Structure 1
């Protein structure tokens, strides 16, 4: 079987991991399956945003057939978007590629080239508002790890490009191959891309004081435990009133809201990865009942847990 040609498009001040991350995923997939090349305007040596020097082929000289065209992001993306000599070969290659995608702010390149018009797309959470503002014909989804719309794929920030590459590999070579690569690179296999690029542990701020930081980590690890204000206060060796005030001040939300977010996140993972019934998932994640979990899902995720499972269930091996 012929190798699949994968072209990763980059530019001066690219985010190095946007390029190297997917490259490593496809490389682990096997040299028998993928022929990789990086391409940049003019070719030769260029710099990443972190100062790492890279070498790539001349983008204008890349010819098809291209199976997969992926555009990286980085601090130089807006200068690249304003360069017709950069956008022209991107459009040319995209016109015949089997699938086209972007990593992080590479979505701006696809949008500038008109490849996202009328499509749903995502990018790094910090750039979603600007993408939507500058390209109103694009429906920007700020939450997912990656979005597939037809043969066009867009991923969230930086390391999400590796999630996207794993998903593309699964399409090509099957789940077992993707699982093997994920284990080798010590990655999670997250599919089908509906999972949030946010988490309670990342989106909410970490407490200033070590005891509360440790407690936050304990909550994430033990969603089914007694996470009442009284129970948490006892673990923190504080009075319930003083604990609630300190937690809210340092974390930016009440203990109850933080616990709800953690439990919903834990339930989402179980719904995506297991066959357990809703009542059992609710019990495992500390909800009093399936109805309680449903109310929390509607409040946090905006869909009931049963619908979430249908939409975002991982493919079985």
Structure 2
């Protein structure tokens, strides 16, 4: 039995509890109870979430035990100091726990406790710079979904907690179980820890459902031709109408937007380091490996091989 303890403080971000579903469904897929999940707090009893709902918790004591300790964050980690009893608890349990994880801004709790010193970590992109300024001894990587350094895990914004929990399941029960859990939770794909927090679709943020529909189609079919004619046909517009509306709503041409989506998908595949560049180029809609390299240099300033080496170096460190 692997015990997972969520340590909640007043005002914790309620979405953190959503990551508990990963462990719940891992038990179902595994066919037996591998994970036992419990909610804890310094004082015990009912704890108020940021939304106002109350969660019953067990009181932390010197005898409290868990294999994995999860520390959710709050909406604004800069508002006040972390409580001294909580910091003392982190310092006491961190060296002997199998895992210690900061969910979103929960990474600030680990940082204040000093357990992330000389380690890599991430947090919500809006607070990454603040973490780096407050804790210069931490290597803060602002664009990562989640990071594992030793037994310490940290994640980006709240949905990234699902990806981090799936990463834990993969290490405990294997990739097939993790994939099955992601499928049951209707996650479009399981994001690797090295994936960036940046999203081209979010940046484009079209105003109309029609243009969003075209972009969604493009992202699902990057290996196909995605010219103006094909995309316009999907939403019953003329190519001229489509180009005009698309540019007005996203601030860029359809061709530039599609290349950005192709690059985003290719970057994930390159950083995962499992497929040859020829395969990645084909699956993301580039003509060949040379075309992929040219687009990479324009978009990221480095060649795909160099980015893959950098990713492997991060994973080994």
**In the TM superposition, what whole-angstrom CA distance separates every residue of 1:121-158 from its partner, at most 9, and x where no partner exists?**
11112221222222222211122211111111101111
- Counterpart of 1:190 in 2: which secondary structure? coil
- Counterpart of 1:115 in 2: which secondary structure? coil
Please tell me whether the aligned partners of residues 178 and 189 of structure 1 are also in contact (alpha carbons under 8 angstroms): no
Structure 1 counterpart of 2:41: 40
Structure 2 counterpart of 1:186: 186
The change in CA–CA distance for 1:131 and 1:290 in structure 2 (over 3 A counts) is same
The change in CA–CA distance for 1:303 and 1:64 in structure 2 (over 3 A counts) is farther
Please tell me whether the aligned partners of residues 67 and 97 of structure 1 are also in contact (alpha carbons under 8 angstroms): yes
Q: Distance in 1 between matches of 2:168 and 2:246?
A: 41
- Counterpart of 1:29 in 2: which secondary structure? helix
Q: Distance in 2 between matches of 1:149 and 1:15?
A: 24
Please tell me whether the aligned partners of residues 119 and 149 of structure 1 are also in contact (alpha carbons under 8 angstroms): yes
- When normalised by structure 1's length, the TM-score is 0.83
- When normalised by structure 2's length, the TM-score is 0.83
Please tell me whether the aligned partners of residues 228 and 239 of structure 2 are also in contact (alpha carbons under 8 angstroms): no
* RMSD value, Cα: 3.0
The change in CA–CA distance for 1:98 and 1:55 in structure 2 (over 3 A counts) is same
Structure 2 counterpart of 1:315: none
What runs of 5+ residues in structure 1 fail to find an aligned partner? Answer: 313-317
The change in CA–CA distance for 1:282 and 1:130 in structure 2 (over 3 A counts) is same
Q: Distance in 2 between matches of 1:278 and 1:146?
A: 24
TM superposition shift of 1:62: 5.3
Counterparts of 1:288-307 in structure 2 under 5 Å?
288-301=287-300, 303-306=302-305
Structure 1 counterpart of 2:172: 172
- Counterpart of 1:71 in 2: which secondary structure? strand
Q: Say whether residues 1:259 and 2:258 are aligned partners.
A: yes
Structure 1 counterpart of 2:144: 144
Structure 1 counterpart of 2:4: 6
TM superposition shift of 1:243: 6.1
Deviates more, 1:21-30 or 1:288-297: 21-30
Counterparts of 1:1-317 in structure 2 under 5 Å?
3-18=1-16, 20-30=17-27, 32-59=33-60, 61=61, 63-75=63-75, 77-78=77-78, 81-187=81-187, 190=190, 192-202=192-202, 204-228=203-227, 236-237=237-238, 239=240, 246-268=245-267, 277-301=276-300, 303-306=302-305, 311=311
TM superposition shift of 1:303: 4.7
Q: Distance in 2 between matches of 1:192 and 1:208?
A: 29
**How many residue pairs are counted as aligned between the two chains?**
305
TM superposition shift of 1:41: 2.4
TM superposition shift of 1:85: 2.2
The change in CA–CA distance for 1:289 and 1:66 in structure 2 (over 3 A counts) is same
